[in-house]
Amino acid sequence: MKKYKAIIYDIDGTLLDTLKMNMYPLMKIIKEETGEDWSFEQVLKFASYPGMKVMEELGVK
């Protein structure tokens, strides 16, 4: 088994920009669940929320 010297956590997007990877699927979920078209700017307010908190805020079960 290989031993690692370090593990890098990129929680705030410093190394990888994962914002779009999370926001575009959210826009699709909102469309499928509510029929509403939300813009990228509108879903940005959920960027720091955990996934289930977003669903709770949107009323999606």
**pLDDT tens per residue, range 2-50:** 899 998 887 777 888 888 888 999 999 999 999 999 999 999 999 989 8
Number of domains in the chain: 1
Q: Is the pLDDT of residue 51 over 80?
A: yes
Evaluate whether residue 7 is within a structural domain. no
pLDDT of residue 50: 87
CB 58 within 8 A of CB 34: yes
User: Which residues have C-beta within 8 Å of that of residue 57, sequence separation ≥ 6?
Assistant: 46, 49
Domain that holds residue 34: 19-58
Q: Which residue has the higher pLDDT, 32 or 61?
A: 32
Evaluate whether residue 24 is within a structural domain. yes
Structure tokens at 34: 């509510």
Evaluate whether residue 5 is within a structural domain. no
pLDDT of residue 9: 82
Evaluate whether residue 45 is within a structural domain. yes
Evaluate whether residue 4 is within a structural domain. no
Evaluate whether residue 35 is within a structural domain. yes
User: Which residues have C-beta within 8 Å of that of residue 3, sequence separation ≥ 6?
Assistant: none
